[in-house]
Amino acid sequence: MLETLKATSPKENPLLDYHNYDELTELLTQYSRMYPHISSMFTLGRSVAGRELWGLRITDNPTQREAAEPEFIYLGNMHGDETVGREMLVNLIVHLLTSYGNVTDITQLIDTTDIYIVPSINPDGFERGRRANDNGFDLNRNFPDRFQDPNNDPAGRQPETQAVMYFWDSHNFVLSANLHGGAVCVNYPYDDFSTPTQCGRAISYAPDHDLYVDLSLTYSRLNEPMYNSNEFDQGITNGAEWYCISGSMQDWSYVWYSTLHVTIELSNVKYPAASQLGMLLWLFLGQEQGHHFFLLLVAGFWEDNRDAMIAYLKRAHLGLRGRVSDATTGEALKAHVEVKPVGKEASALVAVRTDNVTGDYFRVLLPGTYTVTATVPSKAPQTKTVQVPEAKAAVLDFAF
């Protein structure tokens, strides 16, 4: 197996070095071929220079759209010179695939989750060692913005931004994160204010503020350098309280698609030495074609982030889930599902939509009591009350 992987890197272990575009393409191709039963390779689209925005889908039936499985996505390297996230996502892909069938919680996670991992959405910037794409645009300022650019239209935006937008529109992502560098923290919405004088001075509250804090702590608590930060309390920050930006991916996906999305900053140094990344060592058990082996961890960024990345991914399963269907035929219905905490003055949280194919919906929530309203076009809304437990998801179906 190592002989196969040597093609992707001049070093003995390909995870010891940064993967350029060709190496990343080869590595993802190799792994999708070795694990076709739980993975499939895809592309979001192409960059300015024509490079594919490669990703890997990891789930137990990678050619199907299954019911009762939340969709999750990690994206990295939006800024071409912020490289640690790119390699952490490569490591995560390898870790998930090689642990399947050997590690119980990873096997269960893959069997019950539709996972998408895109190591680089700015391959041109990475190849040139610069922040912007090949047209000189900062992609994390190029998405629709609720104040400055409130039009969810890909037209006129950068090719990489358009690719992400079209992909998002064809899926129903419950939870997501994009990985950056230049600091060490988890940054959560909102990233802006309607009044710029508040930037860097106050929290820009999202309806899901309390949940966002909890999600961010899910990650930072398991990343020791992040949680013990001298700059960010417990390693987390509200975006606008840190500094404001317009057109961020996390705000866009939350405002227009109700995807709970954070930005994870992994390294104060944007392009640290590859020796600091951490790596995976291979110990084989049995025949090569069976792909049976253990993974041993060597200290570095991977050690800091591995458990945090898995824990954050698992949060897609906590809260509320259900299905909206036709009471007579059982067919899936398109619906919006809105939740509101009971006994609080807070207004309703951001509504989620059902999956167009399966009729399922997923809503990550904190434990508590909520009223839930499902709305289907041309039908009277239905409202129910549900108790959301701490360690699993409540199930609440609607039939119209």
Question: Which is more confident, 288 or 306?
Answer: 306
Query: 19 with 96, same domain?
Result: yes
Q: Check residue 377 and give its pLDDT.
A: 95
Which of residues 316 and 277 earns the better pLDDT score?
Answer: 316
CATH of residue 328:
2.60.40.1120
Same domain, 155 and 126: yes
Report H helices in the chain.
2-5, 21-34, 84-99, 104-112, 123-128, 159-169, 209-220, 224-227, 239-242, 249-257, 301-314
Rounded to 10°, the helix 249-257/159-169 angle is: 30
pTM of the model as a whole: 0.92
Same domain, yes or no: 300 and 346 = no
Number of domains within the chain: 2
Please list, residue by residue across 105-140, b when 16 or more beta carbons sit within 10 angstroms of its beta carbon and e when fewer do.
Answer: ebbebbebbbbbbbbbbbbbbbbeeebbbbeebbbb
Residue 14 reports pLDDT greater than 70: no
**Helix, strand, coil percent values for the chain (each to nearest 5):** 30, 25, 40
* pLDDT of 391 over the 50 cut: yes
What pLDDT, on the 0 to 100 scale, is given for residue 6?
Answer: 36
pLDDT surpasses 60 at 42: yes
Q: What is the pLDDT of residues 227-265, one digit of tens each?
A: 999 999 999 999 999 999 999 999 999 999 999 999 999
**Listed residues 268, 299, 317: the one ending a domain:** 317
Residue 23 annotated as catalytic:
no
Per-residue confidence (pLDDT) for residue 390, from 0 to 100:
94
User: Does residue 50 sit in the same domain as residue 149?
Assistant: yes
Is the pLDDT confidence value at 368 over 70?
A: yes
Same domain membership, residue 168 and residue 284: yes
Q: Which of 281, 298, 317 is the last residue of a domain?
A: 317
pLDDT tens digits, 170-222:
999 999 999 999 999 999 999 999 999 999 999 999 999 999 999 999 999 99
> Both 335 and 275 in a single domain?
no
Q: Same domain for 156 and 208?
A: yes
Same domain (yes/no): 125, 270: yes
Quote the domain boundaries for residue 104: 2-317
Residue where the block lists tokens 């990345």: 309
Residues 147 and 295 in one domain: yes
Asked if 64 and 132 sit in the same domain, the reply is: yes
pLDDT beyond 60 at 280: no
| Catalytic choice (265, 303, 331, 338) | 265
pLDDT at 245: 97
The string of pLDDT tens digits covering residues 308-354 is 999 999 999 999 999 999 999 999 999 999 999 998 776 789 999 99
CATH number at residue 246: 3.40.630.10
Same domain, 152 and 186: yes
Query: Any idea what the Cα angle at residue 124 is, between residues 119 and 129, rounded to 5°?
Result: 90
Same-domain check for residues 191 and 280: yes
CA 273 to chain centre: 25
Last residue of a domain, one of 317, 348, 375: 317
pLDDT at 274: 78
